[in-house]
Amino acid sequence: MYIEITEAVSNYICNHADIGYESRYKQERMGFLFGTESNGKIKITKAVSYKGGLRSRSSTLFDGNKFTQRANQLMSMFRKAWIGTYHTHVEEDGELFIGLSEEDKESFMDDPIRVGLIVAIWATDDPRIPRQGQKRFLAVKQMGNTNYRYSISGYLITKHGPRLAKLKVI
């Protein structure tokens, strides 16, 4: 099984990562993913940010009931399945975590979702583009004299835990 995301979704979640990265103390951001699942493929066609909760550099705390209520409202409004969630990881003092933290793994197991995307963001003037790996998507955006880099990792949520999945931007 693999995950496809539209270019519009990729741009949306990277722009949302920008907001958190550029906030006064850098903050994680999160949101909902909507789309379809068929024939061994999950296709994400819509992303919406979640405005509730408390954000810090390394976490977002929120009321699970309110979060699920909002997802159900959006699902009804868009007439698309709630496929999953995304959240950002921001660079902190030159350090960046692009994978799943233990807290991420636990939270995914509590949610009734199929997919979790992690959007890591960092800034560099280094013109070299790091290798993205087989399953991660790497994007670069020029902001003034600095390049913002994004690593988007897709995880399928299974009964045995989250599993890194092949990710394709269409």
Q: Could you please report the per-residue DSSP string of 87-120?
A: EEEE-BTTB---S--HHHHHHHHHS--SEEEEEE
**Looking at 69-78, 108-117, 131-140, which range is the least confident one?**
131-140
**Looking at 6-10, 62-66, 128-132, 157-161, which range is the least confident one?**
128-132
- In this predicted structure, the answer to whether residue 133 has a pLDDT above a threshold of 80 is no
* Inter-residue contact 146 to 123 (CB < 8 Å): yes
Q: What are phi and psi of 32, to 5 degrees?
A: -105, 150
R_g (Cα) of the chain, nearest Å: 15
- Mean pLDDT confidence for 156-165: 83
- Mean pLDDT confidence for 32-49: 92
Q: CA 108, CA 114: separation in Å to the nearest integer?
A: 9
| Domains of the chain listed by start with CATH number | 2-169 (3.40.140.10)
Contacts 24+ apart (CB under 8 A), 71-76: 71/32, 74/32, 74/34, 74/48, 75/34
